[in-house]
C-alpha cells in the first residue's frame, strides 16, 4: 500500500460541503423537530438497532489525490480483503431495498443509520449515484422517513477524547453541512440523535463538558453511549434494568459548570454479531416493562454495529433482519407486544408518559481523565505511541484557530471561501481515527502527508493580504 507524497493541487476538487452555513443550520436545528406519530401504546418491550458506516479519506489516488479508501479497495482488488469492495458498496445501499420489501409485507421495520462524512464524500468522488440515490430514499422518501432515523456524527470519524476541544463543534457542524447539502434541510432537521465514532466518550471534565455543550448547541437531543464508558453518580456500574431505559449524562467542568444530555445505552461490547444476527430482538422478546419516575415504560434494547464489516454483516444480516421483523408482524396473543423502535421514537413515547429528562437516572463518564477516554474497545489506545500523529494534530488545530477564528469573527462569510474550507478539510481529516486504529506505518504516513498539506493551506491563509 504505497503512500504517494507528490504534491497535488492544494484544493481538492470539488471540496465537500463542510462549512459556510453555520448560522442558518444553527437556526434550523434550534427549532423543535416536527412531531412524529407515537408508537402504539400496548408495547411491552422494544429494540433499536443502528448501523455504522465509514471509509476514511486517504492521500493515495493519482498523484497523491485524496480518495476514499473504498476507491482504493476497488483499485487494488488483489490486496488483503479488497475483494469485498463491491459487497461493501452493496451494504451501503441495501436498506433502501430491504425496508420497502418488509413494509410491503405488512411489517413495521426500523433502523438507525450513522454514515461518516468521509464516506458520503467518497460516494460523490466515485460517482456512485446508485448508493447516493438509495440514501436519498432513506433520508427523504415519505414511506421510509418514519422507519429510518439518521444519526449525526463527526464528519471525519474523529475520536472525541483525543480531538482538540475547539474542533469538536467543527466536526459536528461539518457533518450537518454535508448531510443537508446531500439530502436537504428538512432531512437534517429530523436528525436529533448522535453516534460518537468508536463509541468514544471523553472523561476529562472540560472535554466532556465541551462535547455535550457542542451537541446541545447543534440541536442534538440524545446520544448513544457504550455501557462501560459510563457509571452512576456514585461510581457504580450500570446494570439492567437501567441499561434498558433512558439515562441522563451529566458533564461538569473544572469551573463547576454543568450540562446534561439524554443517553441511550448500547450494551455488551463490540460484537457485530449482536446486530448481524438480530440478538437485540431476541433479548427484547424476553423483557417486561420497566419503571421510571413512578411510571411504566417499555424496556428498550439498543445496539449498534458496523454495517458492512465481516461475514455476518455482509451475508447474514439481511435475512436475520427480515426474519426478525416478520416474526414481530405475526398475530400476537392478547396483551402487550415487542416492536422495533428508533431512538427518538422511543424517547417520544417516554415523554408522552409524562416523564421528563430530569427524571432519567444521572450518569457520568467512567475512568480516570485521559486523552484515551472510553471507547468500544479496551485493547486499543488512541494515544499511546502516537505522538507523531497527535502532536502535529494539536499544532495544526492551534494554528488553524489562531488564523481562521479572527477572520470568521470579522466576516462570517469567510467560512464559505475555498481557502478556509481547504484548511478545515485537512484539519478534520487529520483527526480521523483510522490513522491510529490501523497502527504504525502506512496509516501514520497518510496522517503525516495530510498534516503537511494542512500546513500548506494555512501558509496560504497567513500570506494572504
Mean pLDDT of 205-218: 97
Asked if residue 376 belongs to a domain, the reply is no
In terms of pLDDT, which residue wins out, 415 or 7? 415
What's the domain range around 358?
Answer: 22-365
- Collapse the DSSP code of 262 into the 3-class scheme (helix H, G, I; strand E, B; otherwise coil) and give the result: strand
**At 408, which helix (H) or strand (E)?**
helix 387-410
Beta pairing, strands 290-292 & 295-297 = antiparallel
Asked if residue 381 belongs to a domain, the reply is no
- In this predicted structure, the answer to whether residue 334 has a pLDDT above a threshold of 90 is no
Asked if residue 13 belongs to a domain, the reply is no
Residues 268 and 177 occupy one common structural domain: yes
Residues 248 and 181 occupy one common structural domain: yes
Asked if residue 10 belongs to a domain, the reply is no
Asked if residue 354 belongs to a domain, the reply is yes
- Quickly state the pLDDT bin for 85 (edges 50, 70, 90): very high
Residues 343 and 409 occupy one common structural domain: no
Q: What phi, psi does 55 have (nearest 5°)?
A: -140, 130
**At 164, which helix (H) or strand (E)?**
none
- In this predicted structure, the answer to whether residue 332 has a pLDDT above a threshold of 80 is no
Tally of domains in the chain: 2
- In this predicted structure, the answer to whether residue 69 has a pLDDT above a threshold of 50 is yes
The residues near 246 (Cβ < 8 Å, ≥ 6 apart) are 222, 262, 263, 264, 292, 346, 347, 350, 357, 360
Mean pLDDT of 285-299: 96
Asked if residue 16 belongs to a domain, the reply is no
- Collapse the DSSP code of 56 into the 3-class scheme (helix H, G, I; strand E, B; otherwise coil) and give the result: coil
Residues 350 and 214 occupy one common structural domain: yes
In terms of pLDDT, which residue wins out, 169 or 269? 169
- Quickly state the pLDDT bin for 4 (edges 50, 70, 90): very low
Find the distance separating the first CA and the last CA of the chain, reported in whole Å: 40
The residues near 394 (Cβ < 8 Å, ≥ 6 apart) are 164
- In this predicted structure, the answer to whether residue 200 has a pLDDT above a threshold of 70 is yes
Residues 216 and 355 occupy one common structural domain: yes
Mean pLDDT of 32-58: 92
Asked if residue 309 belongs to a domain, the reply is yes
Residues 142 and 230 occupy one common structural domain: yes
Residues 335 and 417 occupy one common structural domain: no
Residues 319 and 415 occupy one common structural domain: no
Q: What phi, psi does 105 have (nearest 5°)?
A: -85, 0
Confidence at residue 6, expressed as pLDDT on a 0 to 100 scale: 38
Confidence at residue 270, expressed as pLDDT on a 0 to 100 scale: 60
Mean pLDDT of 122-142: 97
Task: Give the span between the Cα atoms of 77 and 87, in whole angstroms.
Answer: 12
CATH number of the domain residue 175 falls in: 3.20.110.20
Mean pLDDT of 231-250: 97
The last residue of one of the domains, among 332, 365, 398, is 365
Lookup: cell for 75: 483499485
Task: Give the span between the Cα atoms of 210 and 251, in whole angstroms.
Answer: 9
Task: Give the span between the Cα atoms of 112 and 195, in whole angstroms.
Answer: 10
Residues 277 and 392 occupy one common structural domain: no
Tens digit of pLDDT for each residue in 430-450?
A: 999 888 876 678 988 999 999
Residues 43 and 80 occupy one common structural domain: yes
What average pLDDT is seen over the chain? 91
Task: Give the span between the Cα atoms of 301 and 299, in whole angstroms.
Answer: 7
Asked if residue 5 belongs to a domain, the reply is no
Burial class of residue 136 in the structure, from the number of CB atoms within 10 Å of its CB (0-12 exposed, 13-18 middle, 19+ buried): middle
**How many whole angstroms from its chain centre is CA 267?**
17
Q: pTM for this structure?
A: 0.94
Which of 107-116, 139-148, 185-194, 332-341 is least confident?
A: 332-341
- In this predicted structure, the answer to whether residue 368 has a pLDDT above a threshold of 80 is no
**At 443, which helix (H) or strand (E)?**
helix 442-463
- In this predicted structure, the answer to whether residue 9 has a pLDDT above a threshold of 50 is no
- Quickly state the pLDDT bin for 158 (edges 50, 70, 90): very high
Residues 222 and 110 occupy one common structural domain: yes
Residues 298 and 356 occupy one common structural domain: yes
Beta pairing, strands 247-252 & 299-306 = unpaired
Amino acid at each position: 500500500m504505497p503512500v504517494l507524497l507528490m504534491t497535488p493541487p492544494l484544493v481538492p476538487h470539488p471540496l465537500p460541503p463542510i462549512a459556510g452555513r453555520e448560522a442558518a443550520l444553527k437556526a434550523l436545528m434550534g427549532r423543535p423537530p416536527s412531531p412524529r406519530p407515537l408508537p402504539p401504546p400496548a408495547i411491552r418491550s422494544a429494540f433499536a438497532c443502528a448501523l455504522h458506516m465509514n471509509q476514511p479519506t486517504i492521500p493515495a489516488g493519482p498523484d497523491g489525490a485524496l480518495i476514499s479508501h473504498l476507491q482504493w479497495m476497488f483499485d487494488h482488488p488483489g490486496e488483503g480483503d479488497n475483494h469485498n469492495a463491491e459487497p461493501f458498496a452493496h451494504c451501503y445501499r441495501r436498506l433502501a431495498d430491504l425496508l420497502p420489501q418488509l413494509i410491503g409485507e405488512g411489517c413495521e421495520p426500523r433502523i438507525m443509520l450513522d454514515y461518516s462524512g468521509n464516506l458520503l464524500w467518497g460516494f460523490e468522488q466515485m460517482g456512485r449515484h446508485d448508493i447516493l440515490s438509495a440514501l436519498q430514499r432513506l433520508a427523504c422518501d415519505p414511506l421510509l422517513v418514519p422507519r429510518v432515523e439518521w444519526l449525526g456524527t463527526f464528519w471525519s470519524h474523529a475520536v472525541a477524547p483525543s480531538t482538540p476541544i475547539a474542533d469538536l463543534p467543527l466536526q459536528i457542524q461539518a457533518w450537518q453541512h454535508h448531510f443537508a447539502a446531500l439530502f436537504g434541510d428538512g432531512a437534517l432537521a429530523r436528525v436529533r440523535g448522535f453516534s460518537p465514532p468508536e463509541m468514544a466518550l471523553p472523561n476529562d471534565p472540560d472535554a466532556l463538558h465541551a462535547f455535550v455543550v457542542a451537541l446541545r448547541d447543534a440541536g442534538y437531543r440524545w446520544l448513544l453511549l457504550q455501557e462501560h464508558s459510563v457509571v452512576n453518580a456514585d461510581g457504580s456500574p450500570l446494570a439492567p434494568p437501567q441499561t434498558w431505559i433512558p439515562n441522563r449524562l451529566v458533564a461538569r467542568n473544572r469551573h463547576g459548570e454543568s450540562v446534561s444530555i439524554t443517553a441511550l445505552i448500547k450494551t455488551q461490547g463490540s460484537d457485530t454479531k449482536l446486530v448481524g444476527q438480530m440478538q437485540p430482538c431476541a433479548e427484547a422478546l424476553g423483557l417486561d416493562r420497566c419503571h421510571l419516575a413512578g411510571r411504566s415504560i417499555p424496556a428498550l434494547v439498543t445496539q449498534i454495529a458496523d454495517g458492512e464489516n465481516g461475514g455476518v454483516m455482509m451475508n447474514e444480516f439481511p435475512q436475520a433482519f427480515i426474519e426478525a421483523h416478520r416474526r414481530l408482524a405475526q398475530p400476537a396473543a392478547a396483551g402487550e407486544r415487542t416492536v422495533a423502535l428508533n431512538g427518538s421514537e422511543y424517547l417520544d413515547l417516554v415523554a408522552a408518559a409524562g416523564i421528563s429528562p430530569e427524571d432519567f437516572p444521572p450518569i457520568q463518564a467512567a475512568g480516570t481523565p485521559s486523552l484515551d477516554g472510553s471507547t468500544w474497545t479496551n485493547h486499543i489506545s488512541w494515544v499511546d505511541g502516537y505522538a507523531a500523529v497527535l502532536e502535529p494534530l494539536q499544532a495544526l488545530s492551534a494554528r488553524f484557530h489562531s488564523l481562521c477564528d479572527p477572520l470568521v469573527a470579522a466576516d462570517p462569510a469567510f467560512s464559505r471561501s475555498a481557502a478556509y474550507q481547504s484548511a478545515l478539510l485537512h484539519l478534520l481529516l487529520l483527526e480521523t481515527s483510522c490513522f491510529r486504529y490501523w497502527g504504525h506505518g502506512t496509516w501514520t504516513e497518510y496522517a503525516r502527508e495530510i498534516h503537511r498539506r494542512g500546513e500548506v493551506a494555512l501558509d496560504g491563509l497567513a500570506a494572504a493580504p
